[in-house]
Amino acid sequence: MASVPRKEGPVPPFPPGADPDTYDRLRRRVLWTMPSGLYVLGSTDGGGRRNGMTINWATQVSFEPKLLGVSVEREAYTHELVEAGGCFALSILGREDRAVVRRFTKPVEVDLTARTLNGFPYLERVTGAPVLTRAVAFLDCRVTGRLECGSHTLFLGEIVDAGFLTDETTPVLRMEDTRMNYGG
């Protein structure tokens, strides 16, 4: 494939001559084809506030130290809690839990005494961020960096605890297992 020469000055967010709305719809459809997981991100302010939020923008970003990157919309309640508490925990769900992630698309009902988020039991590991007990596996992270990315913040978290809560061969939930889509 031949390379296209770069032009001087700012590059527009769509090809020259393309209708911006039509191109934006095409770009979203292409981005939605990228495989991604679907998780519940647990957060706490380090005090009495907790939340769980459905997220799909999560990935390992470093071998040493082991870092996880999660992108959280700045307007989200979870963003406020991750900022305040300096931590987050990623619950990796089983494929059969498609309906569970729908329960975490808005701020949740928290029962600190029963240790539940929207009625789902959670546990706390090293950081205190909630991990759903029904998760296949989890990653508990301490925030070590952040990068403003348009409407979102990419939080970098060093993995300080991880483990399986069920059989590690359990198939995990992916975005394409649902009718949900985000981003693009």
pLDDT tens figures, 78-102? 999 999 999 999 999 999 999 999 9
Residue 121 confidence class, pLDDT cut points 50, 70, 90: very high
- Token readout for 162 is 């991880």
pLDDT of residue 35: 81
What is the CB-side half-sphere exposure of residue 47 using CA atoms within 13 A? 5
pLDDT tens figures, 127-138? 999 999 999 999
Fold of 37-177: Pnp Oxidase; Chain A (2.30.110)
Mean pLDDT on 51-79: 96
pLDDT of residue 118: 97
Query: What would the DSSP string read from start to end of 116-170?
Result: EETTEEEEE-SS--EEETT-SEEEEEEEEEEEEETTEEEEEEEEEEEEESS-TTS
pTM above threshold 0.75: yes
- Could you tell me where the DSSP H helices lie in the chain? 20-32, 77-85, 98-102
Domain ranges within the chain, ordered by starting residue: 37-177
